[in-house]
Structure formats: structure tokens, C-alpha cells
Amino acid sequence: FGTLSDRLVATFSNLRTKGKLSPADVDGTVREIRRALLDADVNLDVVKQFTGRVRERALGDEVNRALNPAQQVVQIVNEELIGILGGQQRRLEFAKQPPTVIMLAGLQGAGKTTLAGKLAKWLAGQNHTPILVAADLQRPNAVQQLQIVGGQAGVPVFAPEPGNGVGNPVRVAKDAMKYARDRQHDVVIVDTAGRLGVDQELMRQAADIKRAIDPDEVLFVLDAMIGQDAVATAKAFQDGVDFSGVVLTKLDGDARGGAALSVASVTGRPIIFASTGERLDDFEPFYPDRMASRILDLGDVLTLIEQAQKAFDEEEALKVAEKFATDTFTLEDFLSQMQQLKKMGSLKGMLGMLPGAKGMREQLENFDERELVRTEAIIQSMTPAERRNPKLLNGSRRLRIARGSGMTVTDVNGLVQRFEQAAKMMKTVARGGVPNIPGMGPV
């Protein structure tokens, strides 16, 4: 998706230099996104829906109110992209009563036989006991190809015995089911024949196999490189056999790939796996959100998020500065500052991946969570009036608070002292600029 990514990122970087977005900005951006998607072979109907939703949302309140409108638009595009890719990740569904039967369908050359091996290896690696079934009796070498793949995956292959069911894939598939049950294989993967193009006989055969073995999953295997034909092919298979999920293959190729991205949206069937090469390990579960990030360029979007985060912090800091300057900073504000810092702790990992975030990461690592727990307990044991005005805190109130929070009076004194020092210091600093978080050192 190199080109598509590049173009979307370029579009967003034009936006990024601007503050508030005008309707003209939004229209220009949406037009760019539309062109980029169409050029990447994304289906026209999907593009229309997608850009319609992005436009509507981008002109709406969520963007107007955002601290960083451009960032918000990226967020919207990301969410909508995840939507057309199927939304939530959909896992393979296993039968409650084994064996789980997985049938593969798709055009010749789509990558079914290769996928059969990948899937078998992947499942065997998770302590399943899969068996492969050679129900492609169309091509002369199809059975042998599956046997080779099975050998590489270390998974047994059920193939028709010469003279017994040769030429009848329905019979082979049925026999395989019995064989798998007898040997307690918990997953049965059925490879089927494809044609170079969609045809009636192919569909009928696939539908017959499906009826005979009642699979838990029918996976439609789709070569991402076939471009615009992807959507028509998917629809034909949906009408002819119907399928429960899609596998995109050859995502490693530098195809424009956009057509394949339309398939989940057009068929309403989720993409479950992605195949990214000829080797058996070139295979992974499909995550709509990760794919969207890849298309939008994850690194870039993260940088944008970081920028938005900074904007947010500055705005917060200004509010706090205002409170310091006017002497209205309370113990409650103090607590919420600490809590914010803690919340950012969960960003630690993410920040660690970004360049320039090292200082902040260290800061977060030095942050003692127990300190927060203690502070929280003490402040929560105060009355609202005490929180607003610590000057009320005489000896007997401090004793009450210490008892209420399970701390000592020394702890309470320590907290009040730190708060007062910080407030006093900050009152001075506030006039000069952005304050530090009291007791935490500069952030």
C-alpha cells in the first residue's frame, strides 16, 4: 500500500500546518482521499460511502471542538478505514464439537493450497491436530502439491486412493470427514479446486462440497493482486457458495491492493487472515486496526497523536497556571495533576517508541505510584472545605484525616507542606510561564 499511504500522509501533512479547518479545507482533503483511494483500486461504492462519512464527521462538532482539528480528521479517517476493513478483529471460529471443518474456496492461483499449508502449520503450532484434505481433483498435480505442502507443515494429508473416488471431490471430502473423526483430528482443512475465472460448474462443485461436509468456516481466498476484479469475484463466490470469511493473499506484492480492501465492506464478511509470501510462515491473522495504521502510516499518526497530546498538556498547564496566579489552586487540583501523570504512565510503552520522548519516559519511570495512592487517600479523607482551603487544617483535623486515611499525622503534615510549598513557588513561577507539576519536578 506504499503509494496509497504516501498520498494519504501527504494529504494530512497539508492539513497539519493549519489550525481550525474551514469547509473548504475539509472538501479539499476529502477530494484528495477520494482520488488516492480510487487510484489504489478501491471499489467506487466503498469510496463514496467512506468519503461521505469522513466528510460528514469532519465538518461536524467533534472536529470543531477538537484541540487539534487536523489530528481529529486523521482519527476519523483511521476509524472509518478500520470500519471498511471489517471493524473488530474476527478470529477463526472453532466448532464446539470437534472437528472444526474449514473449507477453502477461490479462483485458481489465488493461493488456496499454499494457504491450506500455512493454516495447518499455524494450527499445529497451537496444539491442534489438523488434517489436510485434497478435494481439488481438477488439476493434475493438485493432490501432489498439497502433499508436499502438508509435508512441509508436518501435517497429514487425506487424498483419494487411486480408483476410489477419483474425480469426485464431494466423495473425497465426505470420506475425509470420517477418517478425521476416527483419528481424532480436531481441525479438517479442505482444499478445493479453482478455475481461472468464475464459472457455474466450479460454483456448483464448491456448493456441493459445502453441503456434504457442513463446514464451520468457508474461507474465500482472494489474491490481492487481481485488482478491480476482486469485488466481482467475491460477489460471485458469495452468491454461488457463500463464505464466512476472507483470506487476502499476496499482500507482499506491490499491487495497489485497494480492491481487496473493499471486499469486507462489499460482502459484509470479515477478513480473517492475511498471506504475505510464498513461505509457510508468511501468514498472520488479519487485524483491521493494524492494517489501517499501516495504510495511514503508523509512525506518522503516532507523531500526530503526540502533537495533540502536547497541545492538550499546554492547555491544561495554562489553566493550572491561572489557578496558581489567582491563588485558587486546591488540593483537589493537586490530586488531579498527580492522577494525570499516572494516566500518562500507561502511555509509557508508546512514548518509548517515539524519538524525543526519552526524557518523559524517565520521568514516568521515577514516578512512584504508591505516593499517588497515599496522596489520594489523604485528600479523600478531607472535607471539601479543607481541600479548598488547607489553612483550616488544625491539629485535630489532621488527626482525623490521618485516622480516616490510614496514614500518620506526619504523612498528612508532609503532604500539606509539599502542597503549600508548591503552591507558593508556583504562584511566582506562574507569572513567568508554564508551571511544573508540584512535587514532581519539571515534566
Q: Which residues have C-beta within 8 Å of that of residue 150, sequence separation ≥ 6?
A: 117, 120, 132, 156, 157
Tell me the window of 13-21, 61-69, 105-113, 159-167 that interacts with ligand GDP (CB under 6 A). Answer: 105-113
β-strands 100-105, 130-135 pairing? unpaired
The DSSP-derived string for 270-313 is -EEEEE-SSSTT-EEE--HHHHHHHHHTHHHHHHHHHHHHHHHH
**Sign (positive or negative) of CA dihedral 158, 162, 166, 170:** negative
User: Is 108 or 436 the residue whose CB approaches ligand GDP more closely?
Assistant: 108
Q: How far apart are the first and last CA of the chain?
A: 38
Report in angstroms how near the CB of residue 299 gets to Mg ion at its nearest. Answer: 37
The verdict on whether residue 250 carries a ligand-binding annotation is yes
Q: Is 100 helix (H, G, I), strand (E, B) or coil?
A: strand
**Which residues contact Mg ion (rule: CB under 5 A)?**
112-113
Report in angstroms how near the CB of residue 191 gets to Mg ion at its nearest. Answer: 6
The verdict on whether residue 433 carries a ligand-binding annotation is no
Q: Give the number of other Cβ atoms within 10 Å of residue 311's Cβ.
A: 14
Q: Does 121 bind ligand GDP (CB under 6 A)?
A: no
Among 108, 309, 336, 413, binds ligand GDP (CB under 6 A): 108
Q: Does 110 bind ligand GDP (CB under 6 A)?
A: yes
Cβ–Cβ under 8 Å, residues 219 and 180? no
Q: Which residues have C-beta within 8 Å of that of residue 60, sequence separation ≥ 6?
A: none
Report in angstroms how near the CB of residue 441 gets to ligand GDP at its nearest. Answer: 52
The verdict on whether residue 249 carries a ligand-binding annotation is yes
Report in angstroms how near the CB of residue 114 gets to Mg ion at its nearest. Answer: 8
User: Which triple of cell numbers denotes residue 77?
Assistant: 479517517
Q: Does 250 bind ligand GDP (CB under 6 A)?
A: yes
Q: Give the length of the chain.
A: 443
277 binds, among ligand GDP, Mg ion, none (CB under 5 to 8 A by kind): ligand GDP
Q: Does 192 bind ligand GDP (CB under 6 A)?
A: no
- How big is the site for ligand GDP, counted in residues (CB under 6 A)? 19
Tell me the window of 182-190, 246-254, 339-347, 385-393 that interacts with ligand GDP (CB under 6 A). Answer: 246-254
Note the residues at the interface with ligand GDP (CB under 6 A): 106, 108-114, 194, 221, 249-250, 252-253, 275-278, 282
Q: Residues within the annotated binding site for GTP?
A: 106-113, 191-195, 249-252
